[in-house]
């Protein structure tokens, strides 16, 4: 029989992602539906160590479904990586009589949850939220859709000036280890080239293509670069050196992490929040919720932290890019 859960804790950890608030709202309201009390933990794992708790009612999560960031705040917490930090977190959880946790974040966050569950016996379920969409165990993470649309809107604006002034623009988007945002933005924004961390790239050959286009009358280009592939400013310098064309750079940075979540992210976060609470109530701990082929699923956290195999998707995207440029 599943253990009796009366009070749950919820926290957001790692890089914030649009839709985290919608997930918090969904968790709190689903909890209430099942007579659970929810305690919010501020600033991720740091809040567990520093005892930063806030009681969450139905009213405290009203009017947040449309808000970017996270009302609970978030942090990357080195102290939680230590034995001492985790022991302290366990003490705080027990002091507040929290029976189980819903933990919202990316792969670093999942690793923390594995520690809490397996080493310290704290029941945990994770919800995938990162703009990078690089988590195994889900087709899409909360925040990715909003970030892509934000970066796309900026790229569309850049195209207006690139066309008007006949320039090559190199647009740098987020993604230290993941080219997901870059590929989506490149395809949707009609970019000529995309550089991602998962693939080697040949700058000489790219410049050759640019020159070939120029000789046929092409006058402006958008090159999308994921931050983990290269720095936009270096790519722009090399393009100018090799082709002689005028280049400009736009680094979109943290703009991509903010803003009101899209309908897709709000709905995803709502669905996953409901499922996370259900898993806890069923005693299915050490798992992450996710979406597969449109259906809500759950995956063991050890599987969820494995590197996502994106090879097939990346090959497909490159083929699409070639077909349409």
Minimum distance from residue 245 beta carbon to ligand F6P (Å): 29
Both structure tokens of 15: 């890089």
Q: In angstroms, what is the minimal distance from the CB of 76 to ligand F6P?
A: 6
Using CB under 6 A, pick the residue from 46, 77, 129, 131 that binds ligand F6P: 131
Query: Residue 189 — left, alpha, or beta (φ > 0 → left; ψ -120 to 50 → alpha)?
Result: alpha
Does the annotation mark 78 as catalytic? no
According to CB under 6 A, which one of 44, 175, 261, 290 is a site residue for ligand F6P?
175
> Which residues are CB-contacts of 251 (< 8 A; sequence separation ≥ 6)?
172, 232, 233
Distance CA 26, CA 14 (A): 20
**Interacting stretch for ligand F6P, rule CB under 6 A, among 172-180, 238-246, 298-306, 315-323?**
172-180
Two tokens at 86?
């985790």
Whole-number minimum distance, CB 60 to ligand F6P, in Å? 26
Among 20, 92, 100, 174, binds ligand F6P (CB under 6 A): 174
First to last CA, the chain: 58
CB of 253 to ligand F6P, least distance (A): 9
- What x/- string results for residues 212 through 231 when contact with ligand F6P is judged by CB under 6 A? ---------------x----
Spot the catalytic one: 16, 99, 107, 132: 132
Stretch that binds ligand F6P, among 96-104, 124-132, 283-291, 304-312 (CB under 6 A): 124-132
Q: Are 117 and 124 in contact (CB under 8 A)?
A: yes
Task: Identify which range of 65-73, 116-124, 155-163, 169-177 contacts ligand F6P by CB under 6 A.
Answer: 169-177
* Under rule CB under 6 A, residue 176 binds ligand F6P: yes
Q: Which is nearer to ligand F6P, 147 or 223 (CB)?
A: 147
Nearest distance from C-beta of residue 69 to ligand F6P, angstroms: 12
Contact call for residues 144 and 130 (beta carbons, < 8 A): yes
Between the alpha carbon of residue 218 and those of residues 48, 121, 212, 322, the distances in Å are 56, 62, 9, 16
Only one of the segments 127-135, 198-206, 213-221, 272-280 lies at the binding site for ligand F6P (rule: CB under 6 A); that segment is 127-135
User: Which residue from 63, 106, 54 is spatially nearest to 260, judged by alpha carbons?
Assistant: 63
Residue 47 or residue 175: which is nearer to ligand F6P going by CB? Answer: 175
Indicate if the alpha-carbon torsion angle 26, 139, 126, 21 is positive or negative.
Answer: negative
CB 31 within 8 A of CB 7: no
Q: Which of 153, 174, 148 is nearest to 254 (CA)?
A: 174
Asked whether position 130 contacts ligand F6P by CB under 6 A, the answer is yes
Q: Is 15 in the site for ligand F6P (CB under 6 A)?
A: yes
At 176, list the tokens.
């230290």
Task: Give the other-Cβ count within 10 Å of 320's Cβ.
Answer: 13
- Which residues ranging from 231 to 260 are in contact with ligand F6P (CB under 6 A)? 257
Strand 168-173, strand 221-226: pairing:
parallel
Specify the residue, 97 or 176, whose C-beta has the smaller distance to ligand F6P.
176
Query: Which CB sits closer to ligand F6P, 31 or 137?
Result: 137
Nearest-approach distance from CB 8 to ligand F6P, in angstroms: 25
Task: Decide: is 308 part of the binding site for ligand F6P (CB under 6 A).
Answer: no
Which residue shows structure tokens 């609470």? 277
Whether the Cβ atoms of residue 80 and residue 49 lie closer than 8 Å to each other: yes
Which sequence positions are flagged as catalytic?
132
Q: By the criterion CB under 6 A, which residues form the site for ligand F6P?
A: 14-15, 106, 130-132, 174-176, 227, 257
């Amino acid at each position: 029989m599943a253990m009796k859960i009366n009070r749950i804790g919820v926290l957001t950890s790692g890089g914030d992602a649009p839709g985290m608030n919608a997930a918090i709202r969904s968790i709190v309201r689903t909890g209430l539906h099942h007579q659970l009390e929810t305690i919010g933990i501020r600033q991720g794992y740091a809040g567990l160590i520093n005892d930063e708790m806030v009681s969450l009612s139905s009213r405290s999560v009203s009017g947040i479904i449309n808000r970017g960031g996270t009302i609970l705040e978030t942090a990357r917490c080195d102290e939680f990586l230590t034995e001492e930090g985790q022991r302290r977190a366990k003490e705080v959880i027990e002091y507040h009589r929290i029976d189980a946790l819903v933990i919202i974040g990316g792969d670093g966050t999942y690793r923390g949850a594995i520690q809490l569950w397996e080493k310290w016996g704290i029941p945990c379920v994770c919800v995938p939220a990162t703009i990078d969409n690089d988590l195994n165990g889900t087709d899409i993470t909360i925040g990715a859709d909003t970030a892509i649309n934000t970066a796309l809107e900026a790229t569309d604006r850049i195209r207006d000036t690139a066309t008007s002034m006949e320039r090559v623009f190199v647009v740098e988007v987020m993604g230290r280890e993941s080219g997901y945002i870059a590929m989506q933005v490149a395809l949707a924004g009609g970019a000529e080239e995309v550089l991602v961390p998962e693939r080697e790239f040949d700058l000489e050959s790219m410049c050759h293509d640019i020159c070939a286009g120029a000789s046929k009358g092409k006058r402006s280009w958008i090159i999308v670069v994921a931050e983990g592939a290269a720095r936009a400013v270096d790519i722009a310098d090399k393009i100018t050196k090799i082709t002689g064309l005028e280049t400009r750079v736009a680094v979109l940075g943290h703009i991509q992490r903010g803003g009101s979540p899209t309908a897709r992210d709000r709905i995803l976060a709502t669905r996953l929040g409901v499922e996370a609470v259900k898993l806890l109530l069923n005693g299915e701990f050490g798992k992450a919720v996710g979406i597969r082929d449109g259906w809500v699923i759950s995956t063991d956290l050890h599987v969820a932290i494995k590197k996502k195999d994106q090879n097939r998707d990346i090959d497909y995207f490159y083929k699409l890019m070639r077909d349409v440029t």
